[in-house]
């Protein structure tokens, strides 16, 4: 089954009544803004939280370092990196090649050139296999259909389908929590700050070009910049770099 919440950051901060107070969760943590926020959310709702990241030969591999850092900052019980080289071998995305990262869509697919075909489907399936080893039935991911940038695997219908496939194919039911699914980026910023993730966000990485300081021009940087601006909050990452 899946769980998502109303499009309001205060509702996303609420305490839910589905036996989370004595449970364990696995957070898919890329080291980006959204997964850092999800980790902070999970820490507020689960007794124990583990994190997992994926090395898929992405051009912004610095996010793997960020995933480890934010996991440490927010007190994850463990952090695991799972290697995947097949996504890069298959190609089809600017994030796994030298193709220029752009906001425009491909004419043959209607999707951004930063879309990695099958990425979230593979991530969730492998995360579920890892959760199986740990005896965990609750997973948390930062997908969002409000500003999903044209990625079909960020929609709730896709998450529901994956959860059903996992339960059927592994005979192991999982709940995939998507606390950001209906939030705007500004609401995600407020949720992160409310849950004490400001310091962790200072070490998060969003830039698709893998640049530090961030390039500020790629689609991911633009979305992040707008989210903090709309929330009226200074980006902790830029503040940290300015004083480095």
13-65 residue pLDDT tens: 444 444 454 599 999 999 999 999 999 999 999 999 999 999 988 888 899 99
The listed range with the strongest mean pLDDT (59-63, 129-133, 144-148) is: 129-133
d(CA 208, CA 187): 22
- Indicate the pLDDT class of residue 7, thresholds 50, 70 and 90: very low
Distance CA 25, CA 135 (A): 10
Asked if 224 contacts 185 with a C-beta cutoff of 8 angstroms, the reply is: yes
Q: What is the pLDDT of residue 21?
A: 45
Distance CA 182, CA 203 (A): 25
pLDDT at 111: 78
Q: Which residue has the tokens 């906001």?
A: 103
CATH topology for 2-242?
Rossmann fold (3.40.50)
Instruction: Kindly report the average pLDDT of the chain as a whole number.
Output: 88
* C-beta of residue 96 within 8 angstroms of C-beta of residue 56: yes
Here the contacts of 214-219 (C-beta below 8 Å, separation 24 or greater) are 214/238, 218/101, 219/101, 219/102, 219/103, 219/112, 219/114, 219/149
Q: For the chain, what are the domain ranges? A: 2-242
Span 66-102, pLDDT tens digits: 999 999 999 999 999 999 999 888 888 878 788 888 7
Query: Which pLDDT score is estimated for 149?
Result: 61
Between CA 145 and CA 122 the distance in angstroms is 18
Helix, strand, coil share of the chain (percent; to 5): 45, 15, 45
Q: What percent of the chain has pLDDT over 70?
A: 89
Q: Using CB atoms within 10 A of its CB, is residue 189 exposed (0-12), middle (13-18) or buried (19+)? A: buried
Which pLDDT belongs to residue 147?
A: 61
The residues, ordered by sequence, that sit 6+ positions from 131 with a Cβ below 8 Å of its Cβ are 26, 137, 139, 174
């Amino acid at each position: 089954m899946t769980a998502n919440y109303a499009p309001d950051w205060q509702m996303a901060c609420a305490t839910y009544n589905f036996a989370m107070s004595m449970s364990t969760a696995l957070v898919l943590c890329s080291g980006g803004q959204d997964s850092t926020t999800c980790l902070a959310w999970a820490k507020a709702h689960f007794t124990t939280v583990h994190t997992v990241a994926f090395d898929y030969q992405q051009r912004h591999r610095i996010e793997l370092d960020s995933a480890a850092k934010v996991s440490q900052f927010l007190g994850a019980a463990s952090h695991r990196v799972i290697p995947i080289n097949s996504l890069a071998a298959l190609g089809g995305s600017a994030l796994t090649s030298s193709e220029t990262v752009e906001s425009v869509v491909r004419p043959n697919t209607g999707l951004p050139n930063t879309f990695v075909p099958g990425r979230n489907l593979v991530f969730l399936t492998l995360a579920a296999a890892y959760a199986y080893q740990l005896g965990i039935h609750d997973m948390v991911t930062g997908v969002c259909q409000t500003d999903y940038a044209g990625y079909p695997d960020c929609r709730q219908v896709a998450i529901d389908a994956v959860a059903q496939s996992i339960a059927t194919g592994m005979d192991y039911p999982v709940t995939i929590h998507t606390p950001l699914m209906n939030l705007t980026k500004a609401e995600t910023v407020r949720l992160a700050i409310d849950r004490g993730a400001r310091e962790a966000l200072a070490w998060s990485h969003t830039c698709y070009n893998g640049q530090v300081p961030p390039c500020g021009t790629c689609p991911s940087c633009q979305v992040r910049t707008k989210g903090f601006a709309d929330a009226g909050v200074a980006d902790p990452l830029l503040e940290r770099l300015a004083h480095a």
